Amino acid sequence: MPSTGETTQGGRSAPTLRQALSGYVQSRSRALDEARRTLNIGEGDARAMLHIADNPGIRPTQLREYLNITSAGVTALIDRLEDRDVVRRDVDPLDRRVSRITLTIDLEKDPWVSLTRFDTRFDEAVTTMDAADMGRFADSLVVLTRMSVGTAS
Q: What pLDDT, in 10s, does the model give residues 75-109? A: 999 999 999 999 999 999 999 999 999 999 999 99
Q: What pTM, to 2 d.p., does this model score?
A: 0.76
DSSP three-state, residue 31: helix
CA distance 74 to 91: 17
Return the pLDDT at 15. Answer: 87
Q: What pLDDT, in 10s, does the model give residues 49-59? A: 999 999 999 99
Residues whose CB is less than 8 angstroms from the CB of residue 113 and which lie 6 or more positions away in sequence, other chains included: 107, 120
Q: If you classify domain 14-115 with CATH, what class do you get?
A: mainly alpha
Percent of the chain having pLDDT more than 70? 91
Percent of the chain having pLDDT more than 90? 70
Count the Cβ atoms, other than its own, within 10 Å of residue 49.
23
152 Rama sector, left if φ>0, alpha if ψ -120 to 50, beta otherwise: beta
pLDDT confidence band for 1 (50 / 70 / 90): very low
Domains in the chain: boundaries: 14-115
